[in-house]
Structure 1
Amino acid sequence: MRPVVSEVAEQETDVDFYYVDVDQNPNLVDQFGIKSIPTLIRIQDGKESNRSLGFIPEQQVKEFARGEITDDT
């Protein structure tokens, strides 16, 4: 999943992307209720606006990052 997200991050320069090592950051795992890997969380205006669990293809990552996907995928 990381290569796909990295590719999208290079294209979508107006969106910030962050990777979290769940083993090194258990506090964030708890804070965001991460139960599976990979998990994408879209934060907008300081709040979670969407979440995607599991692998999704590049086009869906782009749509997710842009906020074009409104339901969990």
Structure 2
Amino acid sequence: MGPVVSSVAEELDTVDFYYVDVDKSSDLAQEFGVQSIPTLVLIKDGEEVERSIGFMSEEPVKEFALS
């Protein structure tokens, strides 16, 4: 899913995307309750507002990021 998110990140300059390696940052994965990979977590104003689990193509990722 990395290439899809990277492509969307290049198109959207109003959204910041961060990649977390859950093997190297298990504490962060646990803090956000990540149990499946891939997981996208949308955070606005420091609060989780939406979550998506599983693969998505570019258009759904754009819609998710802009929701």
TM range (shorter): over 0.9
Aligned equivalents of 1:20, 1:66: Cα separation in 2: 20
Superposition deviation, residue 48 in structure 1: 0.3
Q: How does 1:12-27 map to 2 (within 5 A)?
A: 12-27=12-27
Aligned partner of 1:60 in structure 2 is 60
| TM-score (ref. length: structure 2) | 0.98
Aligned equivalents of 1:30, 1:5: Cα separation in 2: 22
- Report SS of the residue matched to 1:52: strand
Unaligned runs of 5+ in 2: none
Aligned equivalents of 1:20, 1:26: Cα separation in 2: 9
Superposition deviation, residue 44 in structure 1: 0.4
Q: Percent identity?
A: 58
Q: How does 1:1-73 map to 2 (within 5 A)?
A: 1-67=1-67
Number of positions where the alignment pairs a residue of Structure 1 with one of Structure 2: 67
Higher relative contact order (CA 8 A, sep 6+): 2
Superposition deviation, residue 57 in structure 1: 1.1
Deviations 1:37-65 (A, max 9, x none): 00000000100000000001110000000
Unaligned runs of 5+ in 1: 68-73
Superposition CA RMSD, Å: 0.4
